[in-house]
Structure 1
Amino acid sequence: MARPTDWHPLRESDPVPGDPEGVRGQVKHMKKIAEYLRTQAAALTAMANADNLKGKYADKLGEEARGLGRKLDEAEDRYREVKGHLSGWADELEDFQRAADKARGDARDAQRVIDSHAAKAQDRAAAEKKDGKDAKGGKGSEGSVGKDPELKRAEEDLEDARKRLNKAEGDYAERSRHYAGKIRSSIDDGMKDSWWTDFKGWVADADWLKDWTERLSWLATIAGVVAMFIPVVGWIALGLTIAVTLSHLAMATTGNGSWFDVVMDIGALKMARNGLKAAKAIKALQQGSRKTAAGLADGSARTTASAANAGARQTAAREARRRGGTSSAKRSAARARKLRMENENRKAGQRAGQEVRDAELPEVTARDRASALGDVKLSQQVKDIEKWRDIHPDNPALVENAVRAGRHQQVLQRSWAVSTVLDLGDKFVGPNIGGDGAYDRFKGTTEAPVGQW
């Protein structure tokens, strides 16, 4: 589409010239050239490796073919890199031109209103002069009644359009230098003839990869929310996040994506890892508290049972030791009776301890579930730890377990909060900061393939 030529009243000429569609046409052309160069490089390599040619000329031909193949491969790689830079520039150029055209249209509308008021003022002044009235003190002069609201609004709109055009022009200049530098770097750098060259070319041609990664990112966000109510989905969310991270890493290392996205993904994975470690620690603390509480119940039950049959055991012990007139059979029976009571005391303790270990996890409230981010099992484990602490408030191990569980729960909550803020900020807040694609342009400043910084 042809660019506007009349930029009055803001500029003498187009401040953001360029043809996005023409650039895209060149991108398509360069893509075809890159594919052709790759095909020819492969053909030359195959020719060099052929074993059906014999003699010195075959060795020389193979050497020359390999050298030419490497050069074509380097040229192909450069074409692909430049193609990617031009594609990004075409998109941003279109945004700058759209913003500039909008400012131009608004300015022309405002100028028409200003010109109309100026023409009316001249006509009024001429009429007053003809009637012999003073233009400054006449009845209908603007000096006596203040500036017309419509005129004032038009002047403000004109100034706002001028500021928007200045911003678009400044961004245009900055980003054009950015892409020019990238293209120069791609052309000047020496390229390696290796699998990395093919991999970068494959990523550059994989137009579907960015869309696929974006969809996976949204699925990971949705899965993260669902995991608050169905904890097992958390593993799905983690798997999706890992897949998104690997995809962003592949694009960033080849110069087709932003390293900022990789950093954000790594941050999300770090938070997920912290949350999983905290949940695992809470489970271990709950099992430890149960074990400690079971031991206390065992000891308490044994003490109670021992106190209940203390007299009978003492009597049996005396009878077992008695000599003179007491048959050995009676002494054996007394010893057996004493052992039986002691065994019953141990069993009473074991039953009490087993009851603690087999006790159902406590019921939890909606508030308890919310504090555990919707994970019912986790909230039950935390409440179980607190229950045994409350039953045995003087036991330092149970008190310490409750304190540590609270800390791990805070880590879990903070990890989820930070991860959510990063994710939603990237998807909703960032794109609205600055407007006109400023957030995407910021990400673009962190684009650079490995070996080209």
Structure 2
Amino acid sequence: MARPKDWQPLRESDPVPGDPSGVRSQVTHMNKIAEYLRTQAKSLTAMADADNLKGKYADKLAEDARGLGRKLDLAEDRYREVKGHLSGWADELEDFQKAADKALTDAQDAQRVIDSHKGKDNEKPADKKGSQDDKAGSADEDPALKRAKEDLADARRRLNTTEGDYQERATHYAGKIRSSIDDDMKDSWWNDFKGWVADADWLGDIADWASWAATFVGVVAMFFPAVGVIALALTVVVAAIHITQALTGNGSWFDVVMDLGALKLARNGMKAAKAVKALQNSSRKTAAGLANRQAKSQAARGNAGARKTAARSERKRGGTSRKNRERARAKRLRLEGENRAAGKRASDEVRDAEMPQITAQEKASAIGDKALARQMKDINRWRDTYPDNPALASNASQAQRHKDAIQGSWAASTGLDAADKGADAVTDDGYSRMKDRMTAPVGSQW
């Protein structure tokens, strides 16, 4: 049964938290384990006492079987005692919660009566007779209001008593459970580590804080992509904590799946962004080469006649002096150099051209990433400048696919994050209960 969320006018939050049904389900589980251990211990004892095995291996097998049987007996005792303590705590916890809920209901009923009389008091005209009339008014207080105030005070006393008893019994059962597990059976380092994680409530607090911080930084990264690495680092921290908690049985594997999904989506988005940047550089390089060849060809057409004349003069023999031939050769080389220079200038203009400016709509289409929007516009600019070039057309097509991947990763990641943070409010904590059912530690529990 879901606990009340609003504890006004008595408390800010639930003073007797806990889930009796969840505790009882653990008791049932532990009872099954205890029965299984008892059965296995008897089987091992019977094996050790069997007379039909002979030889050294039989003695060794009997010795090991007796040792393991004793360990199983100790484990069974531990489970049996702990489940007894938990069963008692579940019953008392349920009684405490019923008493607290009754006090809350009575207090809220009384508060409604008090609030309704406040409205009536505000409508009364001011009394002009001074303190004597005030005292008379106090004596003539509405019986219903007086009774409501007494009921509210009584509800507070009852809740205080219940809360004190709750704390005392919780401490009592915690001590009993610690005493039950303090036996001759030695826990492994993994069991100790699981216990440490279970007691480290601050790990969960860090995970919650980092998760909300990653959400906030992720939104900021839409406008300042450079901070995206911070969001990624925070997500890694959250995933590491959730994996540790899930491995030790103190957290849900569903949270781990969600975290790994978020990291996968972030990785896909980062890879796609790098691919767009590489395509933009490739398009610039290709366009620069095309501009070089185009400008060089145009310049060559402009001085083609002069170059041909110089070349013919350079080849002439007989009546042409050597000096004239050298001048003709120098002219030809100069004209060819001018052609190459024209090509280089055109190439440099493309390579060094300013990145295009973008509109608000273009920025929005890139999820607020100004750099991505400018890269996409630059890629499309060179494709449109040289529409017959297949490489530039291919770059533009690939860039669009990567941009779609970035948008899809962002949308999926944002949707999962919003669903994870808001599902409990929609399902009345059913979402958390579902995740709790996906809790399973790695390694032995005893």
**Normalised by the size of structure 2, how large is the TM-score?**
0.61
Q: 2:394 aligns with which of 385, 390, 400?
A: 400
Percent identity over paired residues: 54
Residues 383 and 325 (structure 1), Cα distance of their counterparts in 2 relative to 1, 3 Å cut: same
2:244 corresponding residue in structure 1: 250
Q: Deviations over 1:15-45 (max 9, x none)?
A: xxx9979x99xxxxxxxxxxxxxxxxxxxxx
- Write the letter of the residue equivalent to 1:219: A
Partners of 2:18 and 2:421 in 1: CA distance: 30
Q: Distance in 1 between matches of 2:100 and 2:370?
A: 56
Q: Does 1:347 align with 2:311?
A: no
Local SS of the residue matching 2:440: coil
Distance 1:281 1:313, change over 3 A: same
1:447 aligns with 2:439: yes
C-alpha displacement of 1:79: 7.8
**One-letter amino acid of the structure 2 residue matched with residue 317 of structure 1:** A
Matches within 5 A, 1:228-247: 228-247=222-241
1:294 maps to 2:288: yes
Which residue of the partner structure matches residue 390 of structure 1? 384
Q: CA deviation at 1:197?
A: 2.6
* Runs of 4+ that moved beyond 6 A: 18-21, 93-103
For 2:196 and 2:440, the matched residues in 1 are separated by 16
**Contact 1:20–1:90, Cα closer than 8 Å, also in 2:** no
2:123 aligned residue: none
The residue that corresponds to 1:40 in the other structure is: none
SS at match of 1:373: coil
CA offsets 1:132-186 (integer angstroms, 9 cap, x no match): xxxxxxxxxxxxxxxxxxxxxxxxxxxxxxxxxxxxxxxxxxxxxxxxxxx9xxx
Partner of 1:56: none
Residue 258 of structure 1: CA displacement? Answer: 0.4
Give yes or no for the alignment of 1:431 onto 2:421.
no
Question: Structure 1 residue 198: deviation in Å?
Answer: 2.8
Alpha-carbon distance, 1:102 to partner: 7.2
Counterpart mapping for 1:115-264 below 5 A: 194-264=188-258
Secondary structure at 2:443's aligned position in 1?
A: coil
Q: Name 1:271's counterpart in structure 2.
A: 265
Amino acid of the structure 2 residue aligned with 1:421: G
Q: 1:348 to 1:19 in 2, by over 3 A?
A: closer
- Who is 1:360 aligned against? 354
Q: 1:395 Cα shift?
A: 1.0
CA-CA distance at 1:298 after TM superposition: 0.2
2:427 alignment partner, SS class: coil
Give the residue type in structure 2 aligned to 1:247: I
1:434 corresponds to which letter in structure 2? Answer: T
Against the structure 1 CA distance between its residues 95 and 250, is the aligned structure 2 distance closer, same or farther, given a 3 Å change threshold?
farther
Shift in CA distance, 405/251, structure 1 to aligned 2, threshold 3 Å: same
Q: 1:202: Cα distance to partner? A: 1.6
Gaps of 5+ in 1: 1-17, 25-67, 107-182
Aligned partner of residue 330 in structure 1, secondary structure: helix
Question: Matched residues in 1 for 2:239 and 2:74: separation?
Answer: 30
Could you say if the C-alpha distance between residues 96 and 356 of structure 1 is closer, same or farther in structure 2, counting changes exceeding 3 Å?
A: farther
Match of 1:121 in 2: none
Counterpart amino acid of residue 375 in structure 2: Q
Q: Distance in 2 between matches of 1:274 and 1:233?
A: 17
Partner in structure 2 of residue 50 of structure 1: none
Over residues 423-443 of structure 1, what are the superposed CA-to-partner deviations in whole Å (9 max), with x where a residue is unaligned?
010001x103432x2111101
Asked whether the equivalents of residues 301 and 348 of structure 1 are also in contact (C-alpha less than 8 Å), the reply is yes
Paired residue secondary structure (2:330): helix
Q: What stretches of structure 2 of length at least 5 have no aligned partner? A: 1-16, 24-66, 106-176
Matched to 1:444, the amino acid is D
Change (3 A) 1:223 1:83: farther
- Alpha-carbon separation, structure 1, partners of 2:315 and 2:374: 53
Secondary structure in 2 matching 1:323: coil
Cα deviation for residue 233 of structure 1 reads 1.1
Instruction: Give distance in 2, aligned partners of 1:198 and 1:102.
Output: 37
Question: Partner amino acid for 2:291?
Answer: A
1:415 is the counterpart of 2:409: yes
* Secondary structure, counterpart of 1:232 in structure 2: helix
Distance 1:97 1:439 in 2: 25
- CA distance in 2 between partners of 1:351 and 1:211 (Å): 60
RMSD: 4.4
SS of the aligned residue for 2:264 comes to helix
Once residues 213 and 263 of structure 2 are traced to their aligned partners in structure 1, the CA distance between those partners, rounded to angstroms, is 15
**Equivalent position to 2:371, from 355, 365, 377:** 377
1:322 aligns with 2:316: yes
- Counterpart CA distance in 1 for 2:206 and 2:312 is 85
Could you tell me how far 1:196 is from its partner in structure 2?
A: 2.1
